[in-house]
Amino acid sequence: MRDIVLEAGAVRFKPILLTALAAMIGAATILLDPIFQGLPISLLFGLASSTLLTVLVIPAIYIALREKPLRLLECAGRRGERNVA
Answer whether residue 63 shows pLDDT above 80.
yes
Q: What is d(CA 79, CA 71) in angstroms, rounded to the nearest whole number?
A: 12
pLDDT of residue 74: 64
When pLDDT is cut at 50, 70 and 90, the band that residue 27 belongs to is: confident
Highest averaged pLDDT of the listed ranges 6-10, 18-22, 69-73: 18-22
Q: For position 33, what pLDDT does the model report?
A: 84
Q: Report the phi/psi class of residue 77: left, alpha or beta, with left for phi > 0 and alpha for psi in -120 to 50.
A: alpha
Q: Tell me what the mean pLDDT of segment 13-30 comes to.
A: 90
pTM of the model: 0.64
